[in-house]
A and B are shown apart, each in its own frame.
Chain A
Amino acid sequence: MRRTVGEEIDEATGVGEVYMRSLIRSQFRAAVSVTVTVLLTIASLPLVFAALPGLNDVRVGPIPLPWVVLGAGVYPAVIALGWLYIRYAERAERSFAALVEPRRSKRPRR
């Protein structure tokens, strides 16, 4: 009898394990990518400001550039990262679902 991938995962067979590990690894890689992006951009700003004091003389209108970046500019970047992550994570889950249950519509849900 042929087993579905869902059953392979339920019974913790070698095949099911491989599918699960690959899903987890792909989700973890997404999380780490977001973290590294944050470290390289937002979290490195204190070092950038410490290294380049000249940035304080750059003005956006009357406001010094660091205030614009820290007071407002960071937030849209955080939201955009969150949005990109969700798109990626949901796509990974969709393709996992398609792999595990190619004919899901024909089967009743448990």
Chain B
Amino acid sequence: MNPTWGIVAVAAVSITTLVIGAFGLRLSRTTSDFYVASRSVSPGLNGSAISGEYLSAASFLGVAGLILVGGADMLWYPIGWTVGYLLLLVFVAAPLRRSGAYTIPDFAQSRLQSLAARRVSMVVVVGIGWLYLMPQFQGAGLTLQTVLDAPRWVGTVLVAAIVTINISLGGMRSITFVQAFQYWLKLTALLVPLMFLLLAWSRDGEPHPVQSQAWLEPLGVATGEHLYSVYAVILATFLGTMGLPHVVVRFYTNPDGRAARRTTLIVLLLISAFYLLPTFYGVLGRIYASDLIAAGRADTVALELPGRLIAGTGGELLTAMITAGAFAAFLSTSSGVTMAISGVVGQAIAAQRPAKGRISSITALRLASVLCISVPLVLALNADSVPIANSVVFAFTLAASTFSPLLILGIWWRGLTAIGAIAGLIGGGIAAATAPFVTLVSDLDGWAGTLLSQPAIWSVPIGFSLMIFGSLLTRSTRPTNVGRTMVRLHTPERVNVDRRY
């Protein structure tokens, strides 16, 4: 394939991202700007930005690849990523915004009055972030390899470099603009080529995919193991979304709790619209590109299709368009995740060096972003690649087993104590962390492999029950100000009660 257009697409997205980032630099001056865009972003813009950040390589390339291989059952991944936002809306959106903290560790500390709970949360934030970043970086490598015939490390390193530069330039404010723009870019980059692909398919006589029952029918082979896997994905994604650090940090940019709810509804609309599209790529891929399955390159199906269905420059231009969208996906999600985890690590670094004022906390953020990005970069360069969407579910499982119980119980149950929360974070975290290890390191088959590589069904209950029973056993250590915290979390802003605490 002629790589010219692909290079143009990657360059255009990269440069636009950096330019919008630099434009944001002139607007962001204070620490508050750097971290959360001064909490002045409107629901429309914020909704686009959250969706832009959320639709990662897993959504843009991974879902089509999964459907190509696995068929109907894989439709649960995008459904789970959408319902996750619904549960986030009903359980955490408004109270979390009203809590007034920047990050989950902030929330843990203020709700539980415990520095230890804050520290453990920080470790979990970094763990989730790394699990999420690795597949983004690998996806970037795979994309440039497919489109430009570049070695795998080129795309990986390129994305890591742009994200680091962008965060150093502008922090969260510029990321808001960048990501709002990238949502619309991603939607267009899947929608427009799809129109042409469907036209080509209909000229071709509308062939049906070569079907096997297992591919075509949900639970076509309804073994217990199969059903278990589907429910593991459902549980991890439904509950995991609310605990993703880059999603949560975004809620602090809403002006108030009511706006946080409205923003979430807009996000539901935008991601639903997007998730209608990858299915078509997966099904068309089953017809025209099923050789990718055997080649182990199913994740590239969206990139391969235009060249196979549409000859000449037309196909190359469409491929370039999808490449641009995919790059937008890598950049926006990686920026958001890196920003979120380096915000947390940056706070910790700044706290180590007090009395240096505002500048030092921004320097700390820059330092933290370099630290936070290098570990997943090294992992991405060295680890075997797992299908992108599967790999992202590791991060969701970890979030569902740790932060999801922390947030739900912390917001709705007065009885949560610091010790209970820490027990749940550690227990749920260890249980969920078996998944990537088992998948990457060992070759367990059968029930043992399934149970360990998709632990959500048992790791989420472990997280919840450790928090609940741990708190019940340590009832005497309930924070004394829990009543005030509940007032702050649940009263609407316009009601005139004391919100200073």
Contacts and interface: CB of A to CB of B under 8 A. Distances in A.
Interface of A: 6, 9-10, 12, 17, 20, 23-24, 27-28, 30-31, 34-35, 38, 42-43, 45-47, 49-50, 53, 56, 62, 64, 66-67, 70-72, 74-76, 78-79, 81-83, 85-86, 89-90, 93, 96-97, 100-101, 104, 107, 109-110
Interface stretch (B16-24, B257-265, B340-348): B257-265
A1 B463 CA distance: 49
Contact of A50 (B222, B265, B275, B496): B222
Contact of A12 (B412, B484, B494): B484
B255 interface: no
B100 interface: no
Contacts of A50: 218-219, 222, 227
B279 A20 contact: no
Given A38-B238, A110-B496, 20 more contacts: A6-B495, A9-B497, A12-B483, A17-B483, A24-B486, A28-B412, A31-B91, A38-B87, A46-B219, A50-B219, A53-B217, A56-B217, A67-B72, A75-B79, A75-B275, A79-B265, A79-B269, A86-B261, A86-B262, A100-B496
B89 to A, nearest CB: 5
Contacts of A17: 483
A24 B488 CA distance: 11
B490 A97 contact: no
B218 A49 contact: yes
A96 B492 contact: yes
A27 B238 contact: no
Given A9-B497, A24-B486, A46-B227, A71 B279 contact: yes
Contacts of B91: 31
Interface in B61-84: 72, 75-76, 79, 82-83
A89 to B, nearest CB: 7
Contacts of A78: 82-83, 86, 268, 272
Given A46-B231, A64-B217, A34 B495 contact: no
Interface of B: 72, 75-76, 79, 82-83, 85-87, 89-91, 94, 208, 216-220, 222, 227, 230-231, 234, 238, 258, 261-262, 264-265, 268-269, 272, 275-276, 279, 412, 483-484, 486-487, 490-492, 494-498
Given A35-B87, A78-B82, A56 B216 contact: yes
A53 B213 CA distance: 11
A83 B208 CA distance: 37
A38 B497 contact: no
Contacts of B72: 66-67, 70
Nearest first, the 5 A-B pairs at minimum CB distance are A75-B272, A70-B75, A31-B90, A93-B492, A49-B218
A101 B492 contact: no
B218 A46 contact: yes
Contacts of A24: 412, 486, 490
B79 A70 contact: yes
B75 A71 contact: yes
